[in-house]
Amino acid sequence: MKTGNRLIRDHWKVQYKNPGYPHVQQGWILPPDRMREYDPFILMADDWFKRGTFSDHPHRGFQTITYVVDGRLEHTDNQGGHSVLHAGDVQYMNAGSGARHAEEAVDEDVIHTLQLWLNLPKSLKQTKSSYQNVLLEEAPWVELKGGSLRVYSGSAEGVTGPMNSLVPINMFELYLRAGERYSLELPANHNGHVYMLQGEMTFGGEGAVTLRKTEVGLLSYDGGADDGAVNTLEITAAQERSRVLIYTGKPIGEPIVARGPFVMNTEEEIVEAFEDFRAGRFGGRV
Domain for residue 275, yes or no? no
Domain for residue 57, yes or no? yes
Domain range for 25: 2-249
* 192-234 tens-digit pLDDT: 999 999 999 999 987 899 999 999 999 999 999 999 999 999 9
The Cα–Cα gap between 129 and 61 comes to 10
pLDDT band at 2 (very low <50, low <70, confident <90, very high): low
Looking at residue 284, its pLDDT comes to 86
Domain for residue 270, yes or no? no
* 15-35 tens-digit pLDDT: 999 999 999 999 999 999 999
CATH value at residue 142: 2.60.120.10
What percent of the chain shows pLDDT beyond 70? 99
Which DSSP string do the residues of 208-239 spell out, in sequence order? -EEEETTEEEEEP--TTS-TT-EEEEEEEE-S
Domain for residue 117, yes or no? yes
Taking residues 84-97, report their average pLDDT.
Answer: 98
Domain for residue 107, yes or no? yes
pTM for the full predicted model: 0.96
The Cα–Cα gap between 191 and 197 comes to 20
Q: State the virtual CA torsion across 155, 157, 161, 167 in degrees, nearest 10.
A: -10
Domain for residue 60, yes or no? yes
**Residue 71 DSSP code:** S
Overall domain count for the chain: 1
* Residue 239 clears pLDDT 80, i.e. is over it: yes
The Cα–Cα gap between 145 and 154 comes to 21
Residue 263 buriedness (CB in 10 A; 0-12 / 13-18 / 19+): buried
Looking at residue 1, its pLDDT comes to 58
Domain for residue 274, yes or no? no
Looking at residue 205, its pLDDT comes to 80
The CA R_g of the chain, rounded to the nearest whole Å, is 19
Average pLDDT, whole number, for the chain?
96
Q: Which residues pair with 131 in a beta bridge?
A: 93
* 147-176 tens-digit pLDDT: 999 999 999 999 999 999 999 999 999 999
Which runs of consecutive H residues, i.e. helices, occur in the chain? 267-278
